[in-house]
Structure 1
C-alpha cells in the first residue's frame, strides 16, 4: 500500500491562510493563541478542550474559496478539496495538524479518542482531514467505519471531495462507498478516484441495484453507469440497451459514454448506432462530470 503523506508544514500554511481569509479577527486571535499554546506547552486536556470549543469562537460559516485556492489544495494533496468546508471545520483541522506526531502511538491514541467521543461536527472534521494527517495508513478502519454512518454530513465528509478512500480503502469497502453514494442520492462525480477504483465486482453490484430499482418501477441515476462502462459484458450490455430504449436525455448520454469507455466490440457497435452521441463525446460535449452536474440540477 502506497503511503501518501502530505507535507505538514505546507498544509498548515495553506489552511491557516484560508482561515485568515474566512474567519473574523476575533476567531483568528483565539485560534492563534490555542495553536501557540499547543506548540509551546502541549497538553492533551488543552487540546481536547480547544477542539470541542471551536464553533463557539469561530462560527460555522461556509468557506469562500477562489479558483487559485482550489488549485493549490489539489497541488498540496491530489484530490483534496476543502470547497465544502466550514470555518469551524478548518480550525479543527489546524488543531489536528498541531498535534505532536513524533510518537506514533500517542498521536493515534489522541485521534482515536476523538473519534470515540466526537459529535457530528467533530466527526465531519476528522473524516475530511484524513488525507492530511500523519500515518494515513493507520486510519483505514476508521474510513470504512465512516461509510456505515447514517449521518449524511459525516458520510459526505468521507465520500465526497476526499482522496483518502480511493487511496486506502479495500475493494469491498470502496464498492460499498460507491453504492451508498448512489443509494443516498449523492453525486458520484464528486467522488475522487472513481474511475481508477472501478472494478468488475462493483459493475455487477450496480447492475443488480439498477434491476432492483427497475423492478420497483423506479429510475436510476445516469451516473450509475460510469463504473460499469469499462466492464461491459453480455448481461451489462443488455442494461445499456435498455437505457437506449428510454426517452432521449441523460440516460442516452450515459449509455453512450459507457459504451465509449468499453473495450467490448458489441458495445462499440451499439455506440456506432448513435453517431450524434458519439460525436458529442469526442467533442467533449458529453462527460461524466457534465452528466452528473445536469442530473444534480434536476434532482
Structure 2
C-alpha cells in the first residue's frame, strides 16, 4: 500500500497545483492521526475543488510502474481528483480490519455516483481487499452503468477476489449491457465451464429474439467447447459476419476437442491467420461493435 500511495503522490505532483497538493497533504495527515469523521467526509467531497478534474499526466513508465505494483491496475485515464480521493481513503486508520470496513461502508453509503466510481475502482488498492467482496458484488448488481463498469472493467479486483458465481454473473451482465469483454481483466484466466454454458444459453436467447450476438461472447467459451458449443461455432462460421467468424475461429483454435480443429480446418484462411499470429483476440477489434 505504501508503494501505491507513493505513486499516486508522484503523479499528483506532476498534474496538480502546489496549493492543491499542500491542502491534500494536510488533510491526509489529519485523517491519519484520527481526526473526526466530518474532516474526512468534508475533504473527500472537496477534492475536485482543490485539485481540479484534469487527467493525470502519466508516462509509459508510470503505467508500467502501476502494473508492477498491482497487475491489472490501469490508471491510464484517471483524473487528479480520483487520485486525491484514493489517497484520502488510504489515509483512514486501518489497524483494525472491522473498524476500517465500517468506516468504508459509511463512505459508500453517502457517496454520489462520481464518488462511487472512485470507491469501486479503489477496492484492489485498499487495505484488506479480501474483506470487500460483498461490496464488489453490490457494484456488479448496480443499475448505474458507470458504477458497474468501475468494478467490471480495467479493474483487477473481480478476477482476484470474486468466486465463480459472482464472476460469471459479472461477465454475463457485461454482455447484456454492451460493455466490452476485452476490458475485463483476467477474462481468459477466469474462464470456466459454467460460464461457457451460460454464454451459450445467452447466445441462443439472442438468436431466438433475432438479435445480434457480440463476437466477444465466444472468447471464454473455446476451451470448454462440447458438441453443442461446436455446433454453435459451426453456425457462426457459416452465417456470421466477418468479426463473428473470426471470433468463432479463435474459439475453435483454443478448443482441445478434435471436432473443433476439424471444423477450423474447413476455413483455411482463418486457420492460417491464427497460425501466423495475424488473428488473435488482441487484434480482433471488437470495441467497434456494441450489442444491446
TM-score range, shorter chain: over 0.9
Is there any run of 5+ residues in structure 2 with no aligned partner, and where?
A: none
Q: TM-score, normalised by structure 2?
A: 0.94
Partner of 2:270: 277
Partner of 1:227: 220
Pick from 134, 153, 161 the counterpart of residue 127 of structure 2: 134
Partner of 1:63: 56
> C-alpha separation between the residues in 2 aligned to 1:138 and 1:247?
44
Partner of 1:106: 99
Partner of 2:209: 216
How many Å apart are 1:210 and its aligned residue?
A: 0.9
C-alpha distance after superposition, 1:69-113 (max 9, x if no partner):
111111111111112322211111111111111122221111011
2:209 aligned with 1:180: no
How many Å apart are 1:248 and its aligned residue?
A: 5.1
Partner of 2:242: 249
Report if aligned partners of 1:160, 1:191 keep a CA contact under 8 Å in 2.
yes
SS in 2 for 1:288: coil
Partner of 2:200: 207
Q: How does 1:1-299 map to 2 (within 5 A)?
A: 8-40=1-33, 42-247=35-240, 249-291=242-284, 294-299=285-290
Is there any run of 5+ residues in structure 1 with no aligned partner, and where?
A: 1-7
Report if aligned partners of 1:89, 1:121 keep a CA contact under 8 Å in 2.
no
Report if aligned partners of 1:128, 1:158 keep a CA contact under 8 Å in 2.
yes
Q: TM-score, normalised by structure 1?
A: 0.92
> C-alpha separation between the residues in 1 aligned to 2:273 and 2:53?
42
C-alpha distance after superposition, 1:135-170 (max 9, x if no partner):
111110001110011111111110011111011111
1:256 and 1:155, CA in 2 relative to 1: closer, same or farther beyond 3 A?
same
C-alpha distance after superposition, 1:159-211 (max 9, x if no partner):
01111101111111101100111111111111111111111111111111111
> C-alpha separation between the residues in 2 aligned to 1:214 and 1:87?
44
Alignment: residue pair count: 290
Report if aligned partners of 2:29, 2:91 keep a CA contact under 8 Å in 1.
no
Report if aligned partners of 2:108, 2:119 keep a CA contact under 8 Å in 1.
yes
Of 157-166 and 278-287, the range deviating more from structure 2: 278-287
How many Å apart are 1:62 and its aligned residue?
A: 3.1
Report if aligned partners of 1:244, 1:255 keep a CA contact under 8 Å in 2.
yes
C-alpha distance after superposition, 1:19-40 (max 9, x if no partner):
2222233322321221233344
